[in-house]
């Protein structure tokens, strides 16, 4: 719901200030509409239903994968596409930790042009507002409880940090603590520095993808502007201040960044001899979700070998489960098709 419009509408009616909080609490608890807000006068509920659309987003498509992943394609009020994903993990005896993790978009399209990414191939449209970010989360909250959030949908969150942080401030009301919220970046240094100063204990995730400057610039042209060694400097300063381990995202591309020497080079980059190093970074190896780009994902075996090489050199690594492959769940895939 457009929270600014809500405030204006309440103010225009001369409503007391606690009304906005009441409305938000109900929305964050996952109710379906204003009629459920029983501590609000009926006339007010009716007026809000007319004046303030319950969501700033319209669901255009929703798809469920066999593994329980749900992906929603939304349109903003001005018709801009964006998407968000709910990932359900199994409950404890089945192996998972039962988490319900949502993956949110911060922009419609993306101004960066990572060559393997479907969103990167799309036109940049605009930043999303805090309300448009929250409405993605509320959409899934209305379906079930949620407890983790990653900004790994469309867009670069650090290019829209005011709105992202405003949304993060409210996520705990939906059940998602700051510690369970991760902001993923290509390495936009001014944004990393702002997050370092920010009081909220959010998790930083860095999309690294290549330990070598030249290869990284090929995959992620933003590396020309903020080269990897400077980005890692900003990450080290972040860790020194926040003492929160940084997740390094590494998408596994066959024959491009998955060789043994490249794993060793990555460990040299992440684990220099200082005492903090082993705790500072954890690598998440991401199986590539095929897009219309020429890239192919590394085989399971290549990913396992890469992980073993990292661990052999003292860097902790996990392989991300592939989720929702049958529904185009990778960053931007659905919206790019719709566009």
Residues that bind ligand SAH (CB under 6 A): 114, 116-117, 152, 156, 184-186, 207, 249, 251, 286, 288-289, 291, 330-331
Residue 51: active-site member: no
Q: How far is the CB of 19 from ligand SAH (least distance, A)?
A: 35
List Cβ neighbours of 101 (8 Å cut-off, separation of 6 or more): 86, 87, 89, 146, 147, 148, 149, 150
Strands 107-108, 126-127: pairing kind:
antiparallel
Name the residue nearer to ligand SAH (CB basis): 40 or 219: 219
State whether residue 232 is helix, strand or coil.
helix
Q: Catalytic annotation on 331?
A: yes
CA neighbor of 183 nearest in space, from 209, 210, 155, 146: 155
Nearer to ligand SAH, 48 or 158 (CB): 158
Task: Give backbone dihedrals phi and psi of 76, rounded to 5 degrees, phi first.
Answer: -75, 175
Beta carbon of residue 156, minimum distance to ligand SAH (angstroms, whole number) = 4
Q: Confirm if 196 and 206 have CB atoms less than 8 A apart.
A: no
CB of 44 to ligand SAH, least distance (A): 39
Spatial distance between the Cα atoms of 184 and 278, rounded to a whole number of angstroms: 20
Residue 282's CB is within 10 A of a number of other CB atoms, namely 16
Select which of 15, 83, 132, 249 is catalytic.
Answer: 83
Which residue number, 40 or 206, has a Cβ lying nearer to ligand SAH?
206
Taking the complex as a whole, how short is the minimal distance between the CB of residue 124 and ligand SAH, in angstroms?
Answer: 12
136/289 with CB nearer ligand SAH:
289
Catalytic residues: 83, 331
């Amino acid at each position: 719901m457009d929270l600014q419009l809500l405030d204006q509408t309440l103010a225009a009616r001369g409503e007391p200030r606690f009304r906005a909080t009441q409305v938000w609490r109900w929305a964050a608890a996952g109710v379906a509409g204003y009629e459920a807000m029983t501590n609000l006068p009926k006339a007010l509920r009716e007026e809000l239903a007319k004046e303030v659309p319950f969501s700033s987003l319209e669901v255009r498509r929703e798809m469920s994968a066999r593994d329980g992943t749900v992906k929603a394609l939304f349109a903003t009020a001005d018709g801009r596409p964006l998407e968000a994903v709910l990932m359900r993990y199994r409950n404890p005896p089945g192996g998972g930790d039962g988490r319900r993790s949502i993956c949110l978009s911060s922009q419609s399209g993306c101004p960066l042009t990572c060559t393997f990414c479907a969103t990167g191939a799309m036109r940049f449209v605009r930043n999303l507002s805090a309300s448009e970010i929250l409405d993605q989360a509320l959409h899934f909250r209305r379906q079930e409880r949620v407890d983790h959030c990653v900004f790994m949908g469309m867009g670069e969150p650090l290019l829209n940090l005011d709105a992202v942080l405003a949304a993060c401030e409210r996520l705990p009301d939906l059940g998602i603590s700051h510690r369970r919220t991760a902001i993923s970046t290509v390495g936009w240094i001014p944004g990393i520095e702002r997050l370092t100063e920010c009081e909220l204990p959010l998790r930083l995730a860095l999309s690294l993808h290549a330990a070598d400057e030249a290869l990284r610039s090929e995959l992620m042209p933003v590396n020309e502007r903020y080269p990897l060694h400077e980005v890692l400097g900003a990450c080290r300063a972040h860790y020194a201040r926040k003492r929160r381990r940084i997740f390094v995202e590494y998408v596994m591309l066959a024959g491009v960044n998955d060789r043994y020497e490249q794993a060793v080079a990555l460990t040299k980059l992440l684990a220099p001899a200082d005492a903090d190093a082993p705790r500072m970074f954890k690598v998440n190896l991401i199986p590539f979700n095929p897009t219309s780009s020429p890239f192919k994902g590394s085989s399971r075996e290549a990913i396992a070998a890469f992980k073993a090489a990292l661990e052999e050199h003292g860097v902790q690594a996990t392989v991300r489960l592939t989720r929702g492959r049958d529904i185009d769940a990778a960053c931007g895939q659905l919206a790019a098709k719709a566009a």
